[in-house]
């Protein structure tokens, strides 16, 4: 497992550089790495009345999976691993709020968006789960995320045969993020 994590760490560094990601707060080992994007999908309507429309600027969030895997190397139980990831995401949300509120394009950022298989329970963090409508985009994301899932579940019997892996959008408006995680905002 150690050799796999070292190889993954190298690939992760290349991916980080090529994808133009930024650390939210590297010193405090925030689990998010981010980049701005212009939303290209169908209009999304959120429960707080916010809407995300084609052309809106969003902050795309990426979990720093390599960091998380290194931190969880001794946790073998899938439930404990899921709870650990949940806790680390929750702890990282205030820094994400500060990152957006201090960003030079703060006024144009409408919210945050991510794509993941891990969407159970995220509403407690303030995220809304939305279907990926475009079947081609969904397939590409499924193909791209599946190797990561397999790598994270090597302790599981044949993780590549998992059938319920459907990527979904996790989305939160900027107002929701700031009001929930920055009490002084």
Whole-number pLDDT of residue 148: 64
Does residue 146 register a pLDDT over 80?
A: no
**Average pLDDT of the segment spanning 3-20:** 76
In terms of pLDDT, which residue wins out, 132 or 15?
132
Domain boundaries, the chain: 2-181
**pTM as predicted:** 0.84
In whole numbers, what is the pLDDT of the chain averaged over residues?
A: 85
Does residue 4 register a pLDDT over 50?
A: yes
pLDDT band at 178 (very low <50, low <70, confident <90, very high): very high
Whole-number pLDDT of residue 159: 44
How, if at all, do strands 57-63 and 109-116 pair? parallel
CA distance 59 to 96: 10
Phi, psi of 130 (to 5 degrees): -125, 145
In terms of pLDDT, which residue wins out, 76 or 93?
93
Does residue 163 register a pLDDT over 60?
A: no
Q: With contact defined as beta carbons under 8 Å apart, do 56 and 38 qualify?
A: yes
Whole-number pLDDT of residue 56: 97
Does residue 44 register a pLDDT over 70?
A: yes
Q: Give all strands (DSSP E) within the chain, no chain letters.
A: 22-23, 32-38, 44-45, 51-52, 57-63, 109-116, 128-130, 168-173
């Amino acid at each position: 497992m150690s050799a796999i994590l070292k190889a993954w760490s190298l690939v992760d560094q290349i991916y980080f550089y090529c994808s133009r990601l930024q650390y939210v707060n590297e010193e405090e080992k925030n689990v998010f790495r981010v980049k701005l994007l212009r939303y290209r999908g169908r209009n999304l309507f959120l429960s707080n009345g916010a809407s995300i429309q084609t052309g809106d600027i969003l902050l795309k969030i990426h979990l720093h999976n390599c960091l998380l895997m290194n931190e969880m190397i001794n946790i073998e139980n899938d439930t404990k691993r899921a709870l650990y990831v949940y806790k680390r995401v929750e702890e990282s949300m205030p820094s994400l709020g500060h990152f957006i509120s201090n960003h030079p394009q703060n006024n144009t950022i409408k919210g945050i968006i991510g794509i993941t298989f891990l969407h159970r329970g995220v509403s407690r963090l303030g995220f809304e789960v939305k279907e990926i409508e475009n079947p081609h985009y969904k397939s590409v994301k499924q193909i791209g995320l599946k190797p990561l899932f397999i790598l994270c579940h090597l302790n599981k019997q044949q993780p590549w045969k998992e059938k319920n892996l459907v990527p979904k959008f996790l989305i939160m408006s900027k107002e929701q993020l700031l009001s929930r995680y920055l009490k002084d905002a």
